[in-house]
Amino acid sequence: MAGGLVGLFDDVAALAKLAAASVDDVGAAAGKASMKAAGVVVDDAAVTPNYVQGLAASRELPIIRKIAIGSIRNKLLFILPAALLLSEIAPTLVEIILMSGGAFLAYEGAHKVIHALKHDDHAHDVPVAMQGPEAERTTISGAIRTDFILSAEIMVISLKEVIDEPLFARAVILVVVALLITVVVYGAVALIVKMDDVGLALTQRNSPSSQRTGRLLVRGMPKLLKVLSVVGTAAMLWVGGHILLAATDELGWHGPYDVVHDLEHTVHDTGAASGVLEWLVNTAASAAVGFAVGALIVLVISVLPKRKGTAKAEPAPEATPEAPPAH
């Protein structure tokens, strides 16, 4: 009996170790997949605060919460099942979708750079924050639609990293990625949009150090948003270009990525900093490819004929008044 119990405990211990190892594997895979999607995550965090600009401070966090719930719904109910199904029945299609996503990221990044060079403030790209329940619903639905595109990119990039895992492990890893990234992005957004409120509260305290910190926070928020926007744009060009290079290489067109590898070899023997320099060369080359592809897409879209609005119906001719009957 004692031997049976010892055997049972050994089995339980072995199962616990296996479960712990599985959790570690899932955590490591989820972390790796999340890092690959970092460029889209930064852009998501940079874009979302625009949706609550101009709203009452009391409505900022409730709106962010609704957008975050919509983001989780996008990832878990729509994108995740479709991604898993495609990875099972047509894994090559995942690569093609990933390339489309890379091209989209490259386009977005190049579009922002070109507008910045033209000194365009992008006012037409920022949703107008109006007042009232109907305006809030419009703002939230617009934010969730934008999030769907970014979430699809995040999930497909993450799926590509774990596509060789069994189906169940794939599903668990992608659920972890979806929840982790949503919490990180919208938690960061909540902190960013409340930073000026915290700063204003600190400026009203009696302590001079609190007042200085408050003024620093209030002045720093616009600069932080600008830095996030610049970093997000650079990350989109880098990630988009890298996706295109890696995907074309995997599909059989090795030339472009071979050129990047040759450039990396030129700094390979530079000593202790060779690893960092190789990464910088790869990143710069990927960003250059991303900008070139994105700028080409911007050019193509700019020369496409604009869809004309429906022609206005011509007013019906006025009826000619009948002559009065002769008497």
DSSP code at position 132: S
DSSP code at position 207: -
Report long-range pairs for 85-93 (Cβ below 8 Å, ≥24 apart). 87/159, 87/163, 87/170, 88/167, 91/163
CA 138 vs CA 104, 127, 150, 240: distances in Å: 24, 9, 19, 30
* Side chain identity, residue 64: I
pLDDT of residue 92: 81
Report long-range pairs for 49-53 (Cβ below 8 Å, ≥24 apart). 49/189, 49/192, 49/193, 49/225, 50/126, 50/127, 51/127, 51/129, 51/139, 51/140, 51/142, 51/143, 52/129, 52/139, 52/193, 53/126, 53/129
- Which residue has better confidence, 45 or 232? 232
What is the arithmetic mean of pLDDT over 36-61? 67
Is the separation of the CB atoms in 213 and 202 below 8 Å? yes
**Which residues span the domain enclosing 289?**
22-303
pLDDT of 32 higher than 70: no
Top mean pLDDT of 123-132, 139-148, 172-181 is at: 172-181
**What band does 113 get if pLDDT is binned at 50, 70 and 90?**
very high
- Which element (helix H / strand E) includes 145? helix 133-161
pLDDT of residue 105: 84
Count of structural domains within the chain: 1
pLDDT of residue 149: 77
pLDDT of 316 higher than 70: no
DSSP code at position 269: T
Q: CA–CA separation, 112 vs 96, rounded Å?
A: 24
Residue 318 domain-assigned (yes or no): no
Residue 4 domain-assigned (yes or no): no
Query: What separation, in Å, do the N-terminal and C-terminal C-alpha atoms of the chain show?
Result: 126
Residue 73 domain-assigned (yes or no): yes
pLDDT of residue 319: 47
> What are the φ/ψ torsions at residue 55 (nearest 5 degrees)?
-85, 160
In this prediction, what percent of the chain has a pLDDT beyond 90? Answer: 19
Q: Cα dihedral angle (198, 204, 208, 209), rounded to 10 degrees?
A: -10
pLDDT tens digits, 266-288: 887 777 778 888 889 999 999 99
Residue 32 domain-assigned (yes or no): yes
pLDDT of 82 higher than 80: yes
**What band does 81 get if pLDDT is binned at 50, 70 and 90?**
very high
Residue 33 domain-assigned (yes or no): yes
Q: CA–CA separation, 265 vs 281, rounded Å?
A: 10
pLDDT of residue 318: 47
Residue 277 domain-assigned (yes or no): yes
Mean pLDDT of the chain: 77
Residue 234 domain-assigned (yes or no): yes
Residue 12 domain-assigned (yes or no): no
42: tokens are: 């930064």
Q: Is 315 helix (H, G, I), strand (E, B) or coil?
A: coil
DSSP code at position 316: P
Identify the sign of the CA torsion 12, 15, 20, 23.
negative
Q: CA–CA separation, 43 vs 234, rounded Å?
A: 9
pLDDT of residue 131: 55
Is the separation of the CB atoms in 238 and 286 below 8 Å? yes
